[in-house]
Amino acid sequence: MSLSKYNQKRDFKQTREPKGKIEKSASELIFVVQKHAASHLHYDFRLEMDGVLKSWAVPKGPSMDPEVKRLAMMVEDHPYSYKDFEGTIPEGNYGAGNVIVWDNGTYTSDEKTASDEKKLLSDLAKGHLSFILKGKKLKGEFSLVKLHGKQENAWLLIKKNDKYASEEDILEKNKSVISKRSLEQLVEKSEKLTSKSEEKTTEKKVVKKKSNPKADIAEFLKPMLASVSEKPFDDDEWIFENKYDGYRTIAVINPQQVDLFSRNELSFNANFKPIAEELKQIDHTVVLDGEIVVENDAGRADFQLLQNYMKTGIGNLKYYVFDLLNLDGNLITELSLLERKELLKILFNKYPFSNVSYSEHTVGDGIKQFEKAVKNKTEGIIAKRADSTYTINRRSTNWLKIKTANEEEAIIIGITEPRNSRKYFGALLLGQYDGKKLQYIGKCGSGFTESTLKDLYTKLKPLFTAKSPLDEKIPIRDKIQWVNPKVVCQVKFSEWTQDQHLRHPVYLGIRIDKKAEEVFLSFPKDDSTQLNSDEMAITPENKKEKTENDYDLKVGKTVLHLTNQNKVYFPKDGITKGDIIHYYNEVSELILPYLKDRPESMNRFPNGIDSPSFYQKDVDVDKIPKWLKTKKVFSESNNADIDYLICNNKETLLYMANLGCIEMNPWNSTTKHIQNPDWLVIDLDPAGNDFAPVVTTALVVKEVLDELETECLCKTSGASGLHIYIPLGAKYDYDSIKILGELIAKEVQSRLPDITSIERSIKKRKNKLYIDFLQNRRGQTLAAPYSVRPKPGATVSTPLEWSEVNEKLHPSQFTIKNVLKRFEKKGDLWTPVLSKGADIKKIIHKLEENQNV
């Protein structure tokens, strides 16, 4: 079964690649490295194990230097007979391009054991494989180390420090160990054959261009943005970095070309030429994310010095890089943050930078890091979830900015007439957007030099307008010259006033990297994010309403202390924390069977859906009530056994809701069969607001599974898509069902190629609906059936009858205000998901038969 993916991807009537079947060496295990010029040049590193070749694509190729760690992406198993394959894979086929056997030989485990292969397979499963290569080019000890994260196929290939270690570039030995020809010679021969064939058919056909394999060209990516948090916190699942007072900068590095961009893709090449010049040292194709600053003599970033540098080119210019988004043509945004930073540090260790620096971080100790920022008078800190992926062009609560001083971005909406000896203008009138409405937030009359006044007046003059951009009249006696709201500036201030104005604002400079429509009102709301508390804080205000707001509820033999029941969780709908707890109290009998014995990943919203949330997996068993059930389960993202909460009864369900868990996110497997999920999930995720393609795709999934004689159930995600579940009865492990999920997704996509995609990269999906089969991995969670979702309206993930999956369906129609009547009428439609389940061997066999027809 391990070669089913290999066979499924290839048409053996068109390619000379060998058809997959299980074979083994007579004695010693073999390895092979093939140089492959497909869409981009890479090296395929293959180790014989269990009758197949376990395979990794290494974009930069192997190295004999222990200091050089190569990214290796694990791909599908290849057949043993692939070890001798050289030649051309024709256009239109998977992996189209030219292949030579760059190196081959035998290998053993680095430990002498009675069963080398058994030890190697065990180490492979653990994600850390050490071995000794006896090749014609590659010799000595190597390791393959898995990067544990959401992109489960990412590894590092590392040379050990032994007598064969060398800084010499082994890739310069570029000829095949079988045919003794280089890849370029193979390409040339292939082109001559192609040319002759094409000349015979028609003179109009263009002869295939000479292949000049390169890594994929890196392109600009809009950066991930942070949400605001008022207070620092300690949490071992978060890392903490310095917050830099400068310009957010994306560096795109391709061969012979370095480009610096603002967050809105304005070119910074001319502004910060020394940084671009220094980055030319990097001999990889990469995309970096960081902040460009100018530091003062004390080593602190100073925004006004940065403004001066833009005019004079004088100052201590620095580029602090905190993330890596693309490496050697591989988009790595799906790796966890710590994995991306590990690769970034490995990359930066190669180069003697002076003005470019890796942004260091600490783990867990946010309060200490914040106190250090206060002491050093820096802007603040950024808190980031250690296991979070990089969400392109989105603001996320996985990143939180916590400021030491009050600074704001503000839109210049007018100027006042100058008084006394001042020239050009007296003060700036400032605004921020509250939704689509522009709101006045005060005037700023300090922080200017005569040069600044002149430069700023010159910049604003073309934007002068007779009409106020505000809907309201403002109480200012000065003569006002209104300005079209296009220019954004940075100001510092002492505090916000009760009427939502800035007190004592001081001008710092223009933000050329920000658009006015991105600057929203940030007047602080009266709430506090207690990220580490097990109960919401009781403030003096809500103590007055304690009889309604806080009360004790007896559930069975347990007394629950419910707090802050009047806190509004859904501002636009007026839905409170108490409303959510009431809903779960009513629906507990329906939801509990799908939570029972499953580790819970708690997504907590202590201040409602418009404020930052945080995930909590590990609970402190010394601080929670003794009646709660927990279970130690190994977490790959934590690389340790942690205590997960187990929700088997109503009192635990309401306890979680009282912690701010609006939604319930159980594992797909129970603690009784932790490696074997009870179901397979196909998650249909639309690209935009059009729900019609979701319905169309869901019905094709049903059609495919009907052909496979396999039961499936459908529910709304409660957000924007649909979830389709296949009952499995905990009979198969995660790896097996992930393969099945991919086969089903590919079959569905092949029937709907114009509206669906199975590409993980958002950019490559080209605005098509995403058929997500990757939810079928150990530790992944989805909202349970009957779970509320943190979306406007308090929508509910609702089981459906297949007759309801039609053009009238939309997830927003099911909310906590109307679903209880539905559930009372229809009962539990989700019961079959816990049945004996499907036979996936028969399903895979039928899929392969269909795809080979």
Q: Is 375 exposed, middle or buried (0-12, 13-18, 19+ CB in 10 A)?
A: exposed
| 3-state SS assignment for residue 323 | strand
Contacts of 851 (CB under 8 A, 6+ apart): 8, 747
Contacts of 478 (CB under 8 A, 6+ apart): 416, 417, 426, 427
**0.75 cut: is pTM over it?**
no
Above 50 in pLDDT, residue 259? yes
Find tokens 């995720």 and name the residue: 685
Q: Are 45 and 69 in contact (CB under 8 A)?
A: no
pLDDT in the model for residue 324: 93
Q: Which phi and psi (to 5°) does residue 609 adopt?
A: -75, -15
Which is it for strands 756-757 and 769-772: parallel, antiparallel or unpaired?
A: parallel
342-346 contact pairs (CB < 8 A, 24+): 342/147, 343/71, 344/288, 346/69
**Mean predicted lDDT score pLDDT of the chain:** 84
Q: CA dihedral in degrees (623, 397, 779, 787; nearest 10)?
A: 80
* Whole-number CA gyration radius for the chain: 30
Q: What number does CATH give the domain 225-403?
A: 3.30.470.30
pLDDT range class, residue 232, cuts 50, 70, 90? confident
More confident position, 181 or 590 = 590
Percent of the chain scoring above 70 in pLDDT: 91
pLDDT in the model for residue 214: 40
The predicted-structure confidence for 149-191, as pLDDT tens digits, reads as follows 545 688 899 999 889 999 889 998 988 888 777 877 766 655 5
In 754-800 the beta strands, taken as DSSP E runs, fall at: 756-757, 769-772, 799-800
Looking at this protein, which amino acid is placed at residue 187? Answer: V
Do the two domains 407-518 and 679-852 of this chain adopt the same fold? no
Count of residues making up the chain: 853
CATH class (in words) of the domain with range 407-518: mainly beta
Q: Are 502 and 440 in contact (CB under 8 A)?
A: no
259's tokens: 């480009």
| 3-state SS assignment for residue 142 | strand
The residues that bridge with 622 in the sheet, in sequence order, are: none
More confident position, 50 or 552 = 50
Q: CA dihedral in degrees (625, 626, 628, 631; nearest 10)?
A: 120
Pairwise CA distance, residues 260 & 288, whole Å: 9
CATH class (in words) of the domain with range 679-852: alpha beta
Give the DSSP letter of residue 764.
Answer: H
The predicted-structure confidence for 796-809, as pLDDT tens digits, reads as follows 999 999 999 998 89
281's tokens: 């040292």
Spell out the domain ranges in the chain.
Answer: 4-186, 225-403, 407-518, 540-653, 679-852
Pairwise CA distance, residues 313 & 306, whole Å: 9
Pairwise CA distance, residues 120 & 48, whole Å: 10
pLDDT range class, residue 544, cuts 50, 70, 90? very low
pLDDT in the model for residue 199: 44
Q: Can you name the CATH fold of 540-653?
A: DNA primase, PRIM domain (3.90.920)
Could you give the angle at which helices 840-852 and 734-751 cross, rounded to 10 degrees? 30
**Mean pLDDT confidence for 11-19:** 83
| 3-state SS assignment for residue 105 | strand
Compute how many other C-beta atoms are within 10 angstroms of the C-beta atom of residue 106.
Answer: 15
pLDDT in the model for residue 533: 27
Q: Which whole-number Å values give the CA distances from 27 to 47, 117, 688, in the listed order? A: 14, 11, 56
Q: Are 599 and 667 in contact (CB under 8 A)?
A: yes
Find tokens 């939604």 and name the residue: 663
pLDDT range class, residue 846, cuts 50, 70, 90? confident
Above 80 in pLDDT, residue 528? no
The residues that bridge with 476 in the sheet, in sequence order, are: none
